[in-house]
Amino acid sequence: MLTPMVIAGLTVDPLTNSPIVILKEIQGERTLPIWIGLLEATAIASELEGIKFSRPMTHDLLRNIMSMVDVKVNKVEVCDLKNNTYFALIHVTHKGKDLSIDARPSDALAISLRMGAPIFVADEVISKSAQIDLKAEPEDKSEQGRKWQEILEKLNPEDFGKYKM
């Protein structure tokens, strides 16, 4: 069974210095944290905040191409969790044919925001995620990791327009 969810926000894991997107079920209290990359976090945050760049970013480019070739995104689905790695599908319709495209959850979520597609999570994924050991020691406590954590923690929505890409 699939549970409808929305993006509730973004945060940073203080142990791994990785951005986390938080999904929350629409009718309920369950949440699902998914660790993502910095660039993907930026793609999600910029769309959540309505920040527009002077040139299309990768997910904007994909949205533009999909719109031009009449591809409709019906939904995105976080469909599996294996070895602490989440998997997603982007469900689309093109020329009357339903297709499912394998994707990283972060990319699927960035696309869902841009295409106005609903987000679903398999109940099995929610159950599996509750069993992840969040207290495990991080593998990388590098200086670079600490610097990125500081940068992410200090970011404000207004900052996204400051930096040239």
pLDDT, tens only, 88-122:
999 999 999 999 999 999 999 999 999 999 999 99
Does an H or E element contain 4, and which? strand 2-12
User: pLDDT per residue over 19-60, tens digit each?
Assistant: 999 999 999 989 999 999 999 999 999 999 999 889 989 999
Superfamily of domain 2-156: Bifunctional nuclease domain (3.10.690.10)
Query: Is 3:121 a contact under the CB 8 Å cutoff?
Result: yes
Closest CA to 115 of 43, 66, 53, 52: 66
Cα separation values, 65 from 9, 71, 97, 103, Å? 27, 8, 17, 17
How far from chain centre, in Å, is Cα 143?
26
Query: Is 87:94 a contact under the CB 8 Å cutoff?
Result: no
Mean per-residue pLDDT, 134-138: 46
Handedness of CA 142, 144, 148, 153 (dihedral sign): positive
